[in-house]
Amino acid sequence: MLFGLLTFFLPGITLVTLVLLFGAYTLVDGIFNLIAFLRVTSHQWTLLIEGLIGIHRGSAYLCLAGHHRDRLTVRDRVLGDPCGDL
């Protein structure tokens, strides 16, 4: 309930928070994929590729969280409010 109210009254901060959480998740997932690649004796290359991509995506989301918020805000201004006019 509290998260819903915060989303309604502070959509910009909520979007940045979700982008940061997703970035942290993908970064940690990429690190764990790299650790799994190093620990597995068969060295499955898909773990290495997924790890590198996850680290890259996670760091990009963490570094550009405000930029993504601005892009979505501009899109909403051009296309209108996706929830309708309040």
Q: Please give the chain's pLDDT, 86 residues, in tens.
A: 787 887 788 777 777 888 888 889 999 999 999 999 999 888 788 889 999 999 988 888 888 776 655 555 555 555 554 444 43
Structural domain for 50, as ranges:
16-74
Closest C-alpha among 53, 47, 22 to residue 34 = 47
Claim: this prediction has a pTM higher than 0.75: no
DSSP symbol at 42: T
Q: Does residue 35 lie within any of the structural domains?
A: yes
Q: Angle formed by the axes of helices 65-79 and 45-63, to 10°?
A: 70
Domain count, the chain: 1
Report residue 22 as tokens: 């997703």
CB 53 within 8 A of CB 37: no
- 83: in domain: no
